[in-house]
Amino acid sequence: MTVAVPEILAPAGTPAALEAAVDAGADTVYCGFRDATNARNYPGLNFTAAELRDGLAYAHARGRRVNVAINTYASAGNTRIWHAAIDRAAELGADAIIMADIGLLDYAARTHPALPRHLSVQAGAASAESIRYYYEFFGISRMILPRIFTLDEIAELKARVPIEIECFIFGSLSPMSEGRCSLSAYATGRSPNLCGVCSPAEFVRYEAVQGTLLCRLGEFVINAFEAGEPAGYPTVCKGRYLAGEDEAAYVFEEPECLNAAPYIGALRRAGIAAFKIEGRQRGRFYVTQVVAAFRELIDAEARGEPPSRHTAALERLRRLAEGGEETTGAYRKGWR
């Protein structure tokens, strides 16, 4: 039996990144509007309605798709901007919307039933029963898996749910509590779940102090880097803390980048429909490099070539890794 080649889903924080993703070989691009309705609400990022219209035209003219992330949780009593975002995505002709909030899923299902709904990783649906619930009540056609499953679990899950499954193949990791993490809210009062932003840039300060680079988030010093030491994103989960040790250490997570290139074949055989690349906050160079590398690796694997032979593409990916380190995350974890 021939197993279909999964599509590549590329991030785009800007119009230039969207065009770069399409040009580099992405099958689908995902992006968000310039407000708190999406989980990458950073300064100068995301799309106006006019920019998304142009982006859709660019992608569709080349036979590609654009999915719109509306994947934060609406504020109680103030769903206006989320409903407006859903309406706008439908009106502009988005190919799918990526959502987490059940109230918004219900609104989208009732108001725009023909617009495909994908369940965001932010929903944190982590069992076949949970995914089936979203499918039966809100008609989701695709599930984006939280980054907590092993390869064996994914294969088992796929056999038990009646929808497409999308999984992350590359990019920064969060502490495996997607949609439920409140670390940023603790330090700054704002979180990716409600405000679309983790460690808001306006709360981040880097200061050079006697050769050491101090990283502050709000009132907290969350990390300190010696000269030349690789750095990561200024998030609480990637800070170093004194926790019963003499030296500060990464107690939540080290700054690493998921790279599941070694498992392209295993994931394809498990029936994965799409490989997702994280990084809407990154620039067009990142998008071009990562999409082109995975286009090469995925096409090679489909021809029966091991991705490991494509050393130049793998090296280009490594150069872009957060903290300069890569991990295969939970896909083959020896810990539990």
Q: Is 49 in the site for other proteins (CB under 8 A)?
A: no
Stretch that binds other proteins, among 25-33, 80-88, 182-190, 311-319 (CB under 8 A): 311-319
Q: Is 228 in the site for other proteins (CB under 8 A)?
A: yes
Q: How far is the CB of 202 from other proteins (least distance, A)?
A: 4
Closest CA to 82 of 54, 56, 111: 111
AA letter at 320: L
* Tokens, residue 289: 């490099």
Q: Which is nearer to other proteins, 12 or 267 (CB)?
A: 12
Q: Figure out which of the listed residues 102, 148, 185, 266 binds other proteins, where binding follows CB under 8 A.
A: 148
Q: Which is nearer to other proteins, 6 or 32 (CB)?
A: 32
AA letter at 47: F
Stretch that binds other proteins, among 23-31, 71-79, 81-89, 229-237 (CB under 8 A): 229-237
Q: Is 306 in the site for other proteins (CB under 8 A)?
A: no
Site for other proteins in 177-196 (CB under 8 A): 177
Binding site for other proteins (CB under 8 A): 13-17, 19-20, 42-45, 48, 148, 175-177, 200-202, 204-208, 213, 225, 227-234, 243-245, 249-251, 255, 281-286, 288-289, 311, 314-315, 318-324, 326, 328, 334-336
